[in-house]
Amino acid sequence: MKQGGSDAAKQAAGESAAEAVEDGMVVGLGTGSTAAHAIRAIGRAVDAGLDVVGVPTSFQSRQLARDCGIPLADLDDVSVDLAIDGADEVADGDLIKGGGAAHAREKIVDANADRFLVVADPTKEAERLSVPVPVEILPMARSTVATAVEDVGGNPVLRRAERKDGPVVTDNGNLVLDCDFGSIDDPATLASDLAALPGVVEHGLFVDTADEIHLGTADGVTVRTLSK
């Protein structure tokens, strides 16, 4: 995964997207180091009197939002006005997400938002999507999905935890295969191929879902509006 962006650039992107949050909104709270800046900015606005409700996309974003004093709700009980979330790679408005293994919940929240704002730094931009695609799978399907991923041209690697022996286990109790397809020339077809595999819970290709990309640099933010 691409992790090279400066924190100042991530902060600029996160704070830019947080400015779109208005009084009374329900906001999807993304996962990762860039979305965390948006959550902190929303928390400061709540402190100053903004009335919003957050829908977290992971254990991490729930915890941060609670620490920041943002009231939370379950997706079942609300309708999301705006979602703000990071990305591991952005190409032509399509995304690869899941570097933090949160992409299944992120896709549910982001896809159900009226507007989805992506926050990223310039290291995430690419001509074509090419970082490995995280695929969350049921544990019992590890080898069958791995074989099926190879059949559609990918090289799957079970994601291992850094600070413990064994695999990464998602917030949903599942495993992640990071699947390298090289440079992806047709993200929509690959997305439907992966979604069709028995045992796949969710993959990290987000095709044509974003409304705006907030690209932060140390010197400012570029906002790109996408037509869907």
Ligand X SMILES: O=C[C@H](O)[C@H](O)[C@H](O)COP(=O)(O)O
Candidate residues 16, 43, 82, 97; the one interacting with ligand X per rule CB under 6 A: 97
Q: Closest separation between CB of residue 177 and ligand X, Å?
A: 14
Show Cβ contacts of residue 168 under 8 Å, excluding neighbours closer than 6 positions.
101, 159, 160, 161, 175, 176
Tokens of 168: 């990464």
Candidate residues 27, 87, 90, 104; the one interacting with ligand X per rule CB under 6 A: 87
Show Cβ contacts of residue 76 under 8 Å, excluding neighbours closer than 6 positions.
none
Tokens of 70: 């943002």
Q: What totals of helices (H) and strands (E) does the chain contain, helices first?
A: 6, 13
Distance of CA 173 to the CA centre of its chain: 18
Candidate residues 15, 85, 178, 202; the one interacting with ligand X per rule CB under 6 A: 85
34 is an interface residue for ligand X by CB under 6 A? yes
Residue 220 assigned to a binding site:
no
Residue 97 assigned to a binding site:
yes
Residue 33 assigned to a binding site:
yes
33 is an interface residue for ligand X by CB under 6 A? yes
**106 included as an active-site residue:** yes
Strand partners, 28: 55, 83
Q: What residues line the site for ligand X (CB under 6 A)?
A: 30-35, 85-88, 97-103, 106
Show binding-site residues for substrate: 31-34, 85-88, 97-100, 124
Catalytically active residues are 106
